[in-house]
Structures are given as structure tokens and as C-alpha cells.
Copies of this chain bind each other. A is one copy, B any other.
């Protein structure tokens, strides 16, 4: 028979089992932290009607989506978890409690050019808090606190959540009479760490911003200091007296102050006036998160405050604040960087190695351990002891249990720890105590 090459598409992550265990550990930590903070799970379909999913989408998104034609239906694979959330809240409004706190961890699809570290199928891990008409600014402080708690709990090294408020930038643009260019300007200054200051200046100039205003924008976003120092400087920019700007300062100040109450400090939460997020979607607080030792990864967790989640589906005003971890890309990098390499995770705590055909006894032992909720397995196929121990070693299983005729006759088992080679034989009724 002609064989088909068993290949996996490029841009699609498919892990070996022990790496998958590491991935799942990270996944579970994210999930349980999100739940600890009261977020309800959602699991929306991966396929939606194109008109629903692309209600808002612009040119770039449309080019990247995976579309399916089946009969006369026009279907699209979701490209993020925010649009499905908007649809869900609009659709189920009457059945939800507000503020509606939901998390969703799921795969999304973007047909980007495949390259190292870029994925076409990847997990996003989102939390959002959606209000009905209004939503307290305290939620904007809660979001970084959750990410802080999560990233402290998992072992990914030093990190910092950078924070800004788009009202500050919009206030600045209003002062400079550049409101009509604000989205474009934000998109350009957002790239400052990627493309450098001279390129940013050039792009702003190409956009028609005059030299004097470029200088003002650059020196504004470059304001440095501790969070409290920055807020003081911002407050003292006397010429900036429009309402948007004042709201921005007030909100940023509140978020930082509450974040301190939550136990965070400037090492973990840092005002950075460059941060604006590319999307025009955000209207207030914005977040990006960086690993301090690996800034080249870019932001591993981003989000912000928005005015109106679901305006394409409903007239109800649904403001919210949320953040998203790009898990697939983050995990891929953590593997690359050896941060996860040392970790030994196993799905089983022990492997029973039969050295007799008395399976009645072997199964009795197994059954006994299963009932105690032990995680274990029996190696059923006939192999050499060496190759069975090798199986355990390769799968990081820390202990093997030998059962031979001696053990059957004496009602015992022999336990061997594979790291220390320590071995002992115990009575069956001592199992619960011993293991």
C-alpha cells in the first residue's frame, strides 16, 4: 500500500507527551487562578457564522481568517476570544449576572505567515469583567493583581506589568489638535521599542505631524520615574487641562494606588506611557506584560479597558476590562529558553512490573492502590526487566513495584525508587502507610 507522509502543518504546535504535560501544568495554573478569582468558564464554538465573527473586523483580520464553505453557509474559525464573548453576552444578556466575569481558554486561528514562534493555531487565555452600563475602576486594578498572583505562582522568572491609560494620550492629542490622527499615532508610538525612536519620528512625520508636536509626543511618552513620580509629573503638566487628560490621571492614579493595596509594588507594576496597544478598541487602562530577563519576547499578556464590548450586536452599553495570555507562544518560548527544561513531570507515580503470571495477585495490588486514588499503571506486555524499568525512567515515573512469586507467596510487594535505587519489600497491608 502507498503510504501517506504523517506530517503536521507548519504553524501548528504538536508536542511530545512529556512536553504536553508541562504545557498542561501551565494551562491548569492559569485556569485555576482564573477560577480562584471568580471567573466563570465559557466554551464557545470554534466555528461561527462569518457575518457574526467579522461584524467588526477590518482588512488585516479578514485576510488572515480561515473560512469554510459548506453548502450555502459561510463560516469562519474564530481568530480571538473577544468577538465570541461579545456575541455571547449580547445573545445571553438576560441570563447573565453582571458584572459578568468570564474566562475562556481555547484555540484561535490566524493564517499568518508561518515562522518560528508564530502560530496559526494557538491558545488564548482570556479574562474579562463586563459591566452592565458601568464598571468600577477597581476592576482595572484587580486584573493586574490576578496576573501578578498567577505569574508569581508559576515559575517564569522576573516579570513586570506595564500600565498606561489611553485617556492620557488622547488628552495630549486633543491638546495638540491631533484627535483625528490619534489611532494612527498610537499605533506608531506603540512600536517604539521595536523600531526605535528615529523610525517613530519618521513615521509620525509621514503622517503629517509637525516637528514640534512630534517632540512633545516623544518627550511625553518618555517621562520616567517611579509610579508616584510619574503621576506627579503628569499632574503638574499645567498646559494639559482637558477633561480626558484629567480623567486619565485620576484613573491611572486609582489603579496604581489600589494595586499597592493589593500588595504589588513598582517592580511588578510600572507606568509606561509608551504602552498604547495597537487596537482602537481600548479606551482607558491598557496593560502589557514582559519577562524582565527576556524582553525580546515582547508582551506575553496584554489587555485593557473598553467602553463597549458588543456594539455590533446590541445597543446596550457593556463596558469591560480584560487581559489575555498568548499561551502557545509563551510556552514555546519558555521551552526554548530552558526555563521549563529541568522540570520532570510524570503522569504516574508508580509502575507495577509483573515478574509472575499470577495476575490475580497483581491486579489485587493494583486495585488496592487505585482505590486509594494512586496514579499508577501495570506493564502488561512481556519484556525484560531492564526495558520495563527503562519505560518508567523515560516517562519520569519515580517508583516501580516488583511483583514476583516471592511477593505472591508472602503477600508482599517490592518497591524500588528509581532515583536512589533504594528498594524494600513490604506487606500488602502496609501499602497505605508506605505509599
A residues neighboring B (CB under 8 Å): 1, 3-9, 12-18, 20-21, 23-24, 35-49, 51-52, 55, 66-70, 73, 75, 77, 86-88, 90-92, 95-97, 99, 101-102, 107, 109, 111, 120-121, 131, 134-136, 138-139, 142, 149, 258, 261-263, 310-315, 347-348, 351, 359-360, 363-364, 367, 370, 373-382, 391, 394-395
Q: How far is B370's CA from A163's CA once the two chains are assembled, in angstroms? A: 23
Q: Are A109 and B47 in contact (CB under 8 A)?
A: yes
Q: How far is B360's CA from A315's CA once the two chains are assembled, in angstroms? A: 36
Known interface pairs A14-B45, A377-B101; A347-B35 also in contact (CB < 8 Å) = yes
- Distance between A399 CB and nearest chain B CB, rounded to angstroms: 13
- Chain B residues with Cβ under 8 A from A359's Cβ? 138, 258, 261
- Distance between A284 CB and nearest chain B CB, rounded to angstroms: 15
- Chain B residues with Cβ under 8 A from A42's Cβ? 15, 17, 20
Residue of B nearest to A18 (CB): B40
Q: Are B91 and A6 in contact (CB under 8 A)?
A: yes
Q: How far is B46's CA from A8's CA once the two chains are assembled, in angstroms? A: 11
- Chain B residues with Cβ under 8 A from A360's Cβ? 261
Q: Are A52 and B375 in contact (CB under 8 A)?
A: no
Q: Are A9 and B380 in contact (CB under 8 A)?
A: no
Residue of B nearest to A363 (CB): B261
Contact of A263 among B14, B35, B73, B367 (CB under 8 A): B367
Residue of B nearest to A377 (CB): B38
Known interface pairs A52-B7, A66-B70, A363-B261; A139-B380 also in contact (CB < 8 Å) = yes
Contact of A121 among B3, B46, B66, B102 (CB under 8 A): B46
Question: Can you show 24 pairs from A to B with CB atoms below 8 A apart?
Answer: A1-B311, A3-B313, A4-B55, A6-B87, A6-B91, A7-B87, A7-B91, A8-B48, A9-B75, A12-B47, A15-B43, A17-B42, A18-B40, A36-B374, A38-B375, A47-B109, A47-B120, A68-B68, A97-B394, A131-B381, A138-B359, A138-B380, A261-B363, A262-B363
- Chain B residues with Cβ under 8 A from A3's Cβ? 312-315
- Chain B residues with Cβ under 8 A from A86's Cβ? 6
Of residues A311, A312, A381, which shows the largest number of chain B Cβ atoms within 10 Å of its Cβ?
A381
Q: Are A41 and B24 in contact (CB under 8 A)?
A: yes
Q: How far is B381's CA from A344's CA once the two chains are assembled, in angstroms? A: 44
- Chain B residues with Cβ under 8 A from A395's Cβ? 40, 97
